[in-house]
Amino acid sequence: MSITATPTPGSNLLKPDDHALILIDFQSQMSFATKSIDAVNLRNNAALISHAAKSFNVPTILTTVAEKSFSGPMFSEITEAFPGQKLLDRTSMNTWEDAAVIDEVNRIGKERLVFAGLWTSVCIVGPTLSALDQGFEAYVISDACGDVSEEAHERAMERMIQAGVRPMTSLQYMLELQRDWARTETYESTTGIAKKFGGSYGLGIIYAKTMFGASEGH
């Protein structure tokens, strides 16, 4: 029996309209003890996925823990992407146990959820395993998460993957939403975000456009 290939994307690939992004506890106090990734990379990656989600109109939940009394403000790189959006502050370490957050998940109504935040072994493991248990699909942007040690982060990622969570990275997330450079309506935004937050890839775009007027898809 032969198989016929077709030029269509796989169902496991993310699309802008098929998921919600949940950003958890990107706060000063949580980042002080994060050692699995340096603060500059963490902030850049958090900014990249936030601005990508905003650009592609992905419904996004921003949640903090003890913002006023202990953990401090959410990274400005994130809140700048969502001006005026309410932060859902919690007392629970497991976001999934917070009624206000779950109300927002249900209001958005997406069965596919993408998570990132601090710390991987607590504030990401808790909601992802809880979401899986209730029949949701869960993705984790691993390089936009961090923990108190590399060991803590890696064991948490392994535990989630064994349970069925799908891992990905920050740049992968944005490029998976774009997927085709012929999508001109988001081309400038995507390359602009990459130039600002995409590290060496962004530098490459700046170089190509400046030196040769280059453009993907042409």
The dihedral built from the CA positions of residue 152, 157, 35 and 90, taken in this order, carries a sign that is negative
Does residue 162 lie in a domain region? yes
Confidence of residue 216 (pLDDT cuts 50, 70, 90): low
Q: Tokens for 22?
A: 């949940």
If asked whether residues 91 and 78 sit together in one domain, one would say: yes
The enclosing domain of 39 has a CATH number of: 3.40.50.850
Q: Which of 103, 112, 146 is nearest to 132 (CA)?
A: 112
If asked whether residues 108 and 56 sit together in one domain, one would say: yes
Does residue 2 lie in a domain region? no
Task: For the chain, list the strands marked E by DSSP.
Answer: 20-24, 60-65, 88-90, 112-117, 137-141, 166-168
Does residue 200 lie in a domain region? yes
Q: What is the pLDDT of residue 208?
A: 78
Please compute the mean of the pLDDT values over residues 85-100 and round it to a whole number. Answer: 97
3-state secondary structure 127-147: HHHHHHHCCCEEEEEHHHCEC
Distance CA 174, CA 147 (A): 23
If asked whether residues 102 and 188 sit together in one domain, one would say: no
If asked whether residues 144 and 192 sit together in one domain, one would say: no
pLDDT tens-digit series, residues 166-190 = 999 999 999 999 999 999 999 999 9
Q: Tokens for 68?
A: 């006023």
Residue 146, classified by CB atoms within 10 Å of its CB into exposed (0-12), middle (13-18) or buried (19+), is buried
If asked whether residues 207 and 100 sit together in one domain, one would say: no
Residue 197 lies in domain: 180-212
pLDDT at 32 over 70: yes
If asked whether residues 134 and 195 sit together in one domain, one would say: no
pLDDT tens-digit series, residues 67-87 = 676 778 999 999 999 999 999
If asked whether residues 146 and 128 sit together in one domain, one would say: yes
If asked whether residues 52 and 153 sit together in one domain, one would say: yes
For the chain, the domain total comes to: 2
If asked whether residues 195 and 100 sit together in one domain, one would say: no
If asked whether residues 127 and 201 sit together in one domain, one would say: no
Confidence of residue 206 (pLDDT cuts 50, 70, 90): confident
Q: What is the pLDDT of residue 217?
A: 58
Q: What is the pLDDT of residue 1?
A: 80
Residue 145 · residue 167 · CB < 8 Å:
no
Q: What is the pLDDT of residue 99?
A: 98
Residues whose CB falls within 8 Å of the CB of residue 21, separated by 6 or more in sequence, listed in order = 49, 53, 58, 59, 60, 61, 113, 114, 115, 116
pLDDT at 211 over 90: no
pLDDT tens-digit series, residues 113-158 = 999 999 999 999 999 999 999 999 999 999 999 999 999 999 999 9
Q: What is the pLDDT of residue 210?
A: 79
Q: If residue 206 lies in a helix (H) or strand (E), which one and from where to where?
A: helix 199-212
User: Which residues are marked as active site?
Assistant: 123
Does residue 202 lie in a domain region? yes
